């Protein structure tokens, strides 16, 4: 795996979402930039992108996938928990007025 990969979700010849995977070490990959276009939210695209990213990690023999997200976000921590991610620590941000949490899932 190169350091970064971006995967896109397409519908009707339009890109409606995407996710980035970054190799962080020989055992883990980081998921970031998971996003779905506002008009397509609620259609399961985010879940499919997440599941696809996890399948890439498994195929490439990574043990875990991790991410950071704002701990007080109205729905993201719950979304990730519903897909098997667990809080694994804090992730302080120096240049922002909020901090994030780190979440992890064994693959």
Averaged pLDDT, 30-58 = 96
From CA 87, how far away is CA 35, in angstroms rounded? 20
Answer yes or no: is pLDDT of 14 > 60: yes
From CA 77, how far away is CA 87, in angstroms rounded? 9
Domain count for the chain: 1
pLDDT of residue 68: 97
Question: The pTM is what?
Answer: 0.90
Tokens of 80: 């990730």
The CATH number given to whatever domain includes residue 83 is 3.40.630.30
Half-sphere exposure of 19 (CA within 13 A, CB side): 21
Answer yes or no: is pLDDT of 2 > 70: no
Q: What does the mean pLDDT of the chain come to?
A: 94
Of 46, 31, 19, nearest to 103 by C-alpha is 31
The domain in which residue 76 lies consists of 4-106
pLDDT, tens only, 51-77 = 999 999 999 999 999 999 999 999 999
User: pLDDT above 70 covers what percent of the chain?
Assistant: 98
- With beta carbons less than 8 A apart as the criterion, state whether 88 and 105 touch: no
Residues 38/48/86/98 CA torsion (nearest 10 deg): -20
């Amino acid at each position: 795996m190169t350091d970064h990969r971006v995967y896109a979700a397409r519908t009707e010849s339009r890109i409606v979402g995407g996710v980035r995977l970054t190799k962080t070490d020989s055992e883990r990959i980081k998921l970031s930039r998971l996003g779905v276009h506002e008009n397509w939210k609620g259609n399961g695209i985010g879940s499919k992108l997440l599941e696809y990213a996890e399948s890439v990690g498994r195929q490439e023999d990574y043990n875990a996938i991790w991410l950071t997200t704002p701990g007080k976000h109205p729905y993201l921590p719950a979304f990730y928990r519903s897909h098997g991610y667990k809080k694994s620590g804090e992730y302080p941000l120096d240049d922002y007025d909020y901090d994030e949490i780190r979440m992890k899932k064994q693959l």
